[in-house]
């Protein structure tokens, strides 16, 4: 896409991409910013990687290139479900990169026994220690089975429990899970075109000490349809923004309640572009308002 090509041509990006085939040699011109998981001394980089088509199709070559680029640029959080959990887990284990990754695994077991068995299967691929994060998409199911997920934590099988749904209609139920102390992480949609989470669920997460992960930063491509054919405003350089992708990501990350935003791609060049959003300056509140007004004027 045009915005990605412009970033590749920008200072420093072309050099990084030229090094991509050699995983170990990828340069790190600057450290990507991190934020602490509330109540811990563990930090996550602010840009994460979503459940890529490369992972879902078990495309080993594409997955290795994607993950090596992501890890070498300082990424850790990878969102995985279904077969992707095994594809990504094996690649990380083969590369001895378990200690440099943070996997958000979606669990599907219907009983505590099934959950334990599922975790055991994942540990056989991802490593013997506890899973980093066990996620659920079914809000009602997690509410009914909160004790089972607490048991997984108490037994040392998982470190954190989370819930993730990218739709506003689930916010109330997710907020109840936070209020009941069931979850350590929530994953919600939030961007300039979908700002509603900033009104209630993200502030509550900040108050309750729950980590916030953002999905749909580009609204499944709808964001790029809005900005297509438009030039990035010159003032975007004031907060080290070099592409339209970074324009959205830097807006999201600049919210103080956001721990990490997930970017979904199968293209390592896009990983480089996205990771750039976690480097350099972030917009302040006045600039955030200016950014959203500028974007809405394009719609």
Report the CATH number at residue 237.
3.20.20.100
Report the SS3 class of residue 226.
helix
**pLDDT tens by residue, the chain, 299 residues:** 334 443 333 323 333 333 333 333 344 457 999 999 999 999 999 999 999 999 999 999 999 999 999 999 999 999 999 999 999 999 999 999 989 999 999 999 999 999 999 999 999 999 889 999 999 999 999 999 999 999 999 999 999 999 998 888 999 999 999 999 999 999 999 999 999 999 999 999 999 999 999 999 999 999 999 999 999 999 999 999 999 999 999 999 999 999 999 999 999 999 999 999 999 999 999 999 999 999 999 99
CA distance 196 to 35: 22
User: According to the model, what pLDDT value does residue 29 have?
Assistant: 54
Nearest to 170 by CA among 146, 136, 145: 136
What domain range is 250 assigned to? 2-296
User: Could you report how far apart the first and last alpha carbons of the chain are, in Å?
Assistant: 19
The pLDDT value recorded for residue 26 is 40
**Closest by alpha carbon to 185, among 37, 74, 81?**
37
Stretch (H or E) spanning 90 = helix 84-94
Dist. CA 299–CA 42, nearest whole Å: 39
Could you give the number of structural domains in the chain?
A: 1
User: Nearest Cα to 76, choosing from 252, 273, 259, 270?
Assistant: 259
Q: ∠ at Cα 120 (115, 123), nearest 5°?
A: 125
């Amino acid at each position: 896409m045009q915005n990605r090509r412009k970033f590749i041509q920008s200072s420093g990006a072309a050099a990084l991409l030229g090094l991509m085939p050699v995983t170990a040699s990828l340069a790190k011109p600057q450290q990507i910013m991190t934020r602490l998981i509330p109540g811990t001394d563990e930090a996550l980089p602010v840009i994460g990687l979503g459940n890529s088509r490369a992972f879902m199709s078990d495309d080993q070559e594409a997955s290795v290139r994607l993950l090596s680029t992501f890890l070498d640029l300082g990424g850790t959080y990878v969102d995985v479900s279904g077969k992707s959990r095994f594809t990504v887990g094996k690649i990380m284990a083969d590369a001895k990169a378990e200690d440099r990754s943070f996997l958000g695994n979606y669990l599907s077991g219907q009983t505590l026994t099934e959950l334990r068995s599922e975790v055991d299967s994942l540990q056989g691929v991802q490593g013997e220690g506890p899973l980093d994060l066990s996620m659920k998409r079914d809000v009602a199911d997690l509410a009914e089975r909160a004790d089972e997920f607490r048991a997984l934590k108490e037994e040392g099988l998982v470190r954190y429990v989370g819930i993730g749904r990218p739709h506003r209609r689930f916010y109330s139920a997710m907020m109840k899970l936070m209020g009941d102390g069931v979850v350590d992480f929530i994953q919600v949609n939030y961007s300039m075109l979908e700002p509603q989470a900033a009104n209630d669920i993200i502030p509550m997460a900040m108050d309750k000490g729950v980590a916030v992960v953002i999905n749909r930063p580009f609204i499944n491509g709808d964001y790029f349809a809005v900005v297509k054919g438009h030039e990035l405003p010159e003032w975007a350089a004031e907060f080290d923004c070099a592409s339209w992708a970074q324009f959205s990501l830097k807006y999201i990350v600049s919210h103080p309640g956001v721990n990490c935003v997930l970017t979904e791609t199968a293209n390592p060049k896009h990983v480089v572009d996205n990771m750039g959003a976690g480097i350099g300056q972030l917009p302040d509140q006045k600039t955030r308002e200016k950014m959203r007004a500028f974007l809405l004027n394009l719609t």
